[in-house]
Amino acid sequence: MKWVRGFLFLTIVGACRPGWAVEEPDVKIEFVGTERPSSFPSILWVHVTNASFTPLDLLDRVTASQLMIDGKPSVRSADASFGGPPGLPAVGSWTGCFLTDDYAPPITLGKHKVVLKLGSASSNEETVRWEVPLNWRKGTLETRMKEVQDLAAHLKKGLPRTCVEQWLTVRDGGVEESDQVRYFLEPQIKVIVPYSRDEVSGPVKVYQEAHLKD
């Protein structure tokens, strides 16, 4: 059995040597957002898994990434920010969100089929119906409340906090529980999101209340 163990050892070591072909990562996407027109535009939830025994340069791939919209490329803007890690370790993974506004030409109104390309790797195909974001100030407190509740219902378990905070950008003041974050939205709406390891971990609560100042 010694020769078997030796063969396996050399195979694993050889796979990690520079110059060997790197296995393409597995890329999965899904759009997160409301089905109805809203002031909260949909974002792209991205899952990247590096099943290879060699590290993966994630930043370079993201910088050069493309959205294939109905088969036509939309290129990531040079000034688009990326809050993820520069690379993934062997057999590592990352999940986060991309804004479609970071790609040009932009996605247009209507129904589209979208694929994300990271280098030579392509994601699954997702279908999205793109709408112009609404100006909530033209509605009422009741319509504003409904659209916030609609968004809250789509904040799925496992969604990273960095994704949630693409929409919920203002923290409320005062004391809050250690395992949740309370956000404020104009005119007088609070959203409480529970987190575990910086991922949504349960139902999101929405209610009316004035902004608390620290």
100-110 b/e (C-beta count within 10 Å ≥ 16 → b): bebbeeebeee
Would residue 71 be called left, alpha or beta, if left means φ above 0 and alpha means ψ between -120 and 50 degrees? left
The residues pairing with 117 across neighbouring beta strands, listed in sequence order, are 66, 122
CA–CA separation, 58 vs 94, rounded Å? 9
- The answer to whether 38 and 69 are in contact (CB under 8 A) is no
pLDDT of residue 21: 55
Q: Following CA atoms 123, 159, 199, 22 in sequence, which dihedral angle do they give, to the nearest 10 degrees? A: 0
CA distance 152 to 137: 19
- pLDDT for the residue numbered 51: 92
Q: Do residues 200 and 157 lie in contact, with contact meaning Cβ atoms separated by under 8 Å?
A: yes
Distance CA 214, CA 205 (A): 21
DSSP letters spanning the chain:
-HHHHHHHHHHHHHHHSTTSPPPPPEEEEEEES-SS--SS--EEEEEEEE-SSS-EEHHHHHHT-EEEETTEEEEEPTT----S-SEE-TTEEEEEEE-GGGEESPPPSEEEEEEEEETTEE---EEEEE-PPP-GGGS-HHHHHHHHHHHHHT--TT-BHHHHTTT---B--S---TTEEEEEETTTEEEEEEEETTEE-S--EEEE-PPPP-
Tokens (6 digits) for 179: 């395992």
* Strand partners of residue 43: 32
Q: What is the pLDDT along the chain (214 residues), one digit of tens a residue?
A: 444 343 333 334 344 444 455 689 999 999 999 988 999 999 999 999 999 999 999 999 999 999 999 999 999 999 999 999 999 999 999 999 999 999 999 999 999 999 999 999 999 999 999 998 999 999 999 999 999 999 999 999 999 999 999 999 999 998 888 899 999 999 999 999 999 999 999 999 999 999 988 7
- Give the number of other Cβ atoms within 10 Å of residue 207's Cβ: 12
